[in-house]
Structure 1
Amino acid sequence: MILFLLYIYHRNYRHKSQDKNNHTIISNCSKRSISIMDHKTLELATDNFGDSNMLGAGGFGCVYKGKLEGNLCVAVKRLSGGNLDAIKEFQTEVELLSKIQHPNIITLLGYSIHSDTRLLIYELMEFGSLETQLHGPSRGSALTWHLRMKIALDAARGLEYLHEHCHPPVIHRDLKSSNILLDSDFNAKLSDFGLAILDGTQNKNNIKLSGTLGYVAPEYLLDGKLTDKSDVYAFGVVLLELLLGRKPVEKIAPAQCQSMVTWAMPQLTDRTKLPNIVDPVIRNSVDLKHLYQVAAVAVLCVQPEPSYRPLITDILHSLVPLVPVELGGTL
């Protein structure tokens, strides 16, 4: 019996060591050089950052469509100004995306620094952000139920890579529908890693409260406590956006806003009310059994107490059976 127990211990210890080494190998193999690109070349590629090429605007600048040699279409993010926050986000983005690589995480192709202007060059995502698809002019009309579940699954896979396969783990810290980008086949990729941090390196004194209203987990907002469960909360909000077609925070009066989570929570757990609050675009095409399952996952993700929220791996396992095989699931 003693020999058997020693054998089991030795085998488990060896497997753990191998797993750890495998993860380290994955991290090391993912490292790649990011090209330093010429500013003039990028000016020409974007027609001097013309308005007609603008894809969108963010907190620290605008994103433009560009065409490089060989007809390679790219997205160029221009961060204007030299304030410390913008510089720090730029550095974080370049350093992090040069070390990680995953099908559901945006690829950084290069960067450029010219005077106070910093440029980041990414692969072009033809269908823009999930936010634009859901809340823009089309109001989600292109997103069927199965496509929405595929997008949720893709986002979960990207997040699982950050939380479980990066060493140390990465907390995105600004997960939201505008930072989930879609290519021409509706494959989703996480983007905008300027606020991302390595888990275990933060504390209340050295981290600045950041994020977007409606997506920020309550424990982070109130106590500055940041963990991977903060990303899970934000993921739950995105999942509710996909289900309900509503924005995380909506104006109901000139000086009054309403949280989607607060409004939806009582109805999400009532099977008689839930179908009535689903986005009208998909309301008549949803399998009710699947709807109840996804709603249950979303409810767990946005629990006020972090310990009640599932790990992103558990969420992933819950979503895979709801997505058709041809879209990357097992349905």
Structure 2
Amino acid sequence: MEPDVLEQIFDGSIEPRDIKLSDLQSITKNFSEDQIIGKGGFGTVYKGVLLNGVVAVKRIHNMHTIDEKLFHREVNSLLMVNHKNIVRFLGFCSHTVHKPFKNEGSGGYILFEDRERILCFEYVNNGSLENYIAGLQWDTRYSIIKGICEGLQYLHMEKSIMHMDLKPANILIDDNMVAKITDFGLSRMVENSQTKTTNRFFTLGYSAPEYIDSGTMSPSYDVYSLGIIIIQLVTGHRSVTNSNNVSVFYIVDGLFLQI
């Protein structure tokens, strides 16, 4: 790996930036299955080992990298934020090569794009809030709720960012039981609030009704999701189907699809 770029970002010597694909391959043993620490609808997360620490490397599934707008939006949001209740962003990789594919019909070749879109974060090894809905002492539950609220207030008031996918699976818990918001793949700027979109991703149970019904976006969407999370933590019960499994949906051109 060239001049320890990731190590320098990790220790704070330089700011988050673009990272070479070869560097990320090196620290994940070429994205070995042994290094997988999580899987979701949009990507697979690998453990990356540096000389001075451990990082999480999110490799976005090829079927989704065609949407460059979503990737650029997420990177832009991540580069803007720095808060104790938001998972620290370390860098990104946007790598594209063209490979020949033989066209059996014509006998010629077609060049197609092989894309890698990757995000790198601090490694938070206590898992997500999904694992802590029940069984916590009240002071710990209160601290987690307070942390999520402070992180969300920072996003809305200081950075004008709507998260748009707040749920227990997207809140990580560190060794000190500090909550850290993650996954900005669906984030939007508040300046686009009160606008509507026809194609939208959402998680049933955490998504505001006005967004499901008409695609209306506003910071209130995140507040609705926050309210559901607070209810779950206060009661100690999951009122919503596990969001890591079957509850993520996508509406495109009026069709209701499950991911």
TM-score norm. by structure 1 comes to 0.59
Distance of aligned partners of 1:86 and 1:62 in 2 relative to their CA distance in 1, 3 Å threshold: farther
CA contact (8 A) 1:64 1:76 kept: yes
Match in the other structure for 2:142: 149
Q: Does 1:241 align with 2:232?
A: yes
Query: Quick one: distance in 2 between partners of 1:56 and 1:73?
Result: 15
What residue identity is the alignment partner of 2:131?
T
Match in the other structure for 1:52: 34
What residue identity is the alignment partner of 1:157?
E
Query: Quick one: distance in 2 between partners of 1:250 and 1:190?
Result: 20
Task: Output aligned runs, 1:173-184, within 5 Å.
Answer: 173-184=164-175
Partner secondary structure for residue 202 of structure 2:
coil
What residue identity is the alignment partner of 1:34?
P
* Structure (1/2) with the larger helix percentage: 1
Query: Quick one: distance in 1 between partners of 2:73 and 2:168?
Result: 21
Match in the other structure for 2:210: 219
CA contact (8 A) 1:60 1:86 kept: no
Task: Output aligned runs, 1:54-73, within 5 Å.
Answer: 54-70=36-52, 72-73=53-54
Query: Quick one: distance in 2 between partners of 1:102 and 1:50?
Result: 31
Match in the other structure for 2:108: none
Larger gyration radius, structure 1 or structure 2:
1
What residue identity is the alignment partner of 1:69?
L
Q: Which of 36, 43, 60 is the equivalent residue of 2:18?
A: 36
Identity among equivalent pairs (%): 36
* Structure (1/2) with the larger strand percentage: 2
CA contact (8 A) 1:130 1:180 kept: yes
What residue identity is the alignment partner of 2:34?
S
Match in the other structure for 1:94: 75
RMSD value over aligned CA atoms? 2.3
CA shift at 1:210, angstroms? Answer: 2.3
Query: Quick one: distance in 2 between partners of 1:41 and 1:146?
Result: 41
Task: Output aligned runs, 1:1-331, within 5 Å.
Answer: 33-70=15-52, 72-81=53-62, 83=64, 86-115=67-96, 116-134=115-133, 140-141=134-135, 143-166=136-159, 169-202=160-193, 204=195, 206=197, 208-250=199-241
Query: Quick one: distance in 1 between partners of 2:193 and 2:219?
Result: 12
Distance of aligned partners of 1:62 and 1:248 in 2 relative to their CA distance in 1, 3 Å threshold: farther
CA contact (8 A) 1:33 1:98 kept: no
CA shift at 1:206, angstroms? Answer: 4.6
CA contact (8 A) 1:79 1:86 kept: no
CA contact (8 A) 1:111 1:121 kept: yes
Query: Quick one: distance in 2 between partners of 1:183 and 1:214?
Result: 25
Match in the other structure for 1:287: none
Partner secondary structure for residue 216 of structure 2:
coil
CA shift at 1:209, angstroms? Answer: 2.4
CA deviations on 1:5-50 (whole Å, 9 max, x unpaired) are xxxxxxxxxxxxxxxxxxxxxxxxxxx8422222222222122222
What residue identity is the alignment partner of 2:143?
K
CA shift at 1:149, angstroms? Answer: 1.1
Query: Quick one: distance in 2 between partners of 1:245 and 1:50?
Result: 36
Match in the other structure for 1:28: none
Query: Quick one: distance in 1 between partners of 2:191 and 2:226?
Result: 21
TM-score norm. by structure 2 comes to 0.74
Unaligned 5+ segments in structure 2 are 1-13, 97-114, 248-259
Query: Quick one: distance in 1 between partners of 2:131 and 2:37?
Result: 11
Q: How many residues align?
A: 212
CA shift at 1:55, angstroms? Answer: 1.5
